[in-house]
Amino acid sequence: MQLPIFILFACVLAFSNRICSQQASINVSDTLLYPGEKHFTNVQQLTFGGDNAEAYWSANGKYLVFQRTNAAEEIHCDQIFVGKVPQKTGDKFEYRMLSSGKGRTTCAYFLPDGKHLIYASTHLGSDSCPPQPDRAKYGNRYLWPLYNTYDIFLATIDGKIVKQLTTAKGYDAEATLSPDGKQMIYCSDKEGDLDLYVMDLQTGKEKRFTNTPGYDGGAWFSPDGKKVVWRASRPAPGQELAEYKQLLSEGLVAPTNLEVFIADADGSNTSQVTHLGKANWAPNFTADSKGIIFCSNSEYPRGFPFNMYLTDFTGSRLEKVSRDGGFDAFPMFSPDGKKIVFSSNRNNGGTRDTNLFIADWVK
């Protein structure tokens, strides 16, 4: 789900074109833990090299699924990998590719049974990686491509696709599940805008969750199943909205102005959590369902770096969590709330690599 400088947004929108990774050289020191990161202890780097992001826990907390690109390994666009969480600090994180290697894949998520996953893929459109947009045509601005061959699939943990969940023409991606595994929430442009939809996995019936002009995506149910949090853009009427619609008609979106929103799980009582400006995205809930953790570049005039923040549902209590001078994003707490996994440019030796890190969480 994309986004760097926006690895951003992933499942941000298919994590793809890592501007943030391209900025990794601004880091002046390599370390696993920066001063002031009081919520982290026993930090362990899980991957080494390439772009690794959107790592999400299985329901039993024993496995992680994530997406990875590494040209050195002939992985030229995101593929889905799964690995067992190290039992103790120092144990090697061993992982294997779950997707077929065809097309581009993004936003994988475990079902509660631990035997199945969902993820989006473009492989029905082509075996090869879909082309990147010509950013020079748009003034070299950061853009996400909305590949119209993205659909969402149900697969076994061994990689066998057992069902195609979406079939509408257009972009269908950024899917996660309710805690009971019965409902899938995802982003689609099937009705002319980038909105969230909730699908009953058993019946296939679905309802539109958002209906306001602008991008709505990267949604998560709270662990107690009562709330949904997501990122959204709200272009102002006039030139902003016209530009958004024009890019959308070309299969593109510019995810540089996003805020965090929350609603009840049935779509009612929607409210805007953050009012920080710039890009606030990759929101997720704390394990107790009482708070939100998200990524933001709002502190920085240049729009970089990205760090992670904690807040309440009103956005009034804000606490900075990470201190990397590059990119920290895609946080997810383990089911028991004792650990956190995230993606970061830290400790990459001055390269453009974005790796996965796991840490014990200190309240």
pLDDT in tens, 96-134: 999 999 999 999 999 999 999 999 999 999 999 999 999
Are 245 and 224 in contact by the 8 Å Cβ rule? The answer is no
User: Structurally, what CATH architecture does the domain formed by 19-361 represent?
Assistant: 6 Propeller (2.120)
Burial level of 252, CB count in 10 A (0-12/13-18/19+)? middle
Tokens of 112: 């509660």
Bond into 86 cis (ω within 30): no
Residue 261 · residue 271 · CB < 8 Å: yes
218-233 residue pLDDT tens: 999 999 999 999 999 9
With vertex at residue 102, the alpha carbon angle to CA 98 and CA 107, rounded to the nearest 5 degrees, is: 55
What digits encode the pLDDT tens for the residues 288-343?
A: 999 999 999 999 988 889 999 999 999 999 999 999 999 999 999 999 999 999 99
Cβ distance 90 to 96 under 8 Å? no
Using an 8 Å Cβ cutoff, are 179 and 172 in contact? no
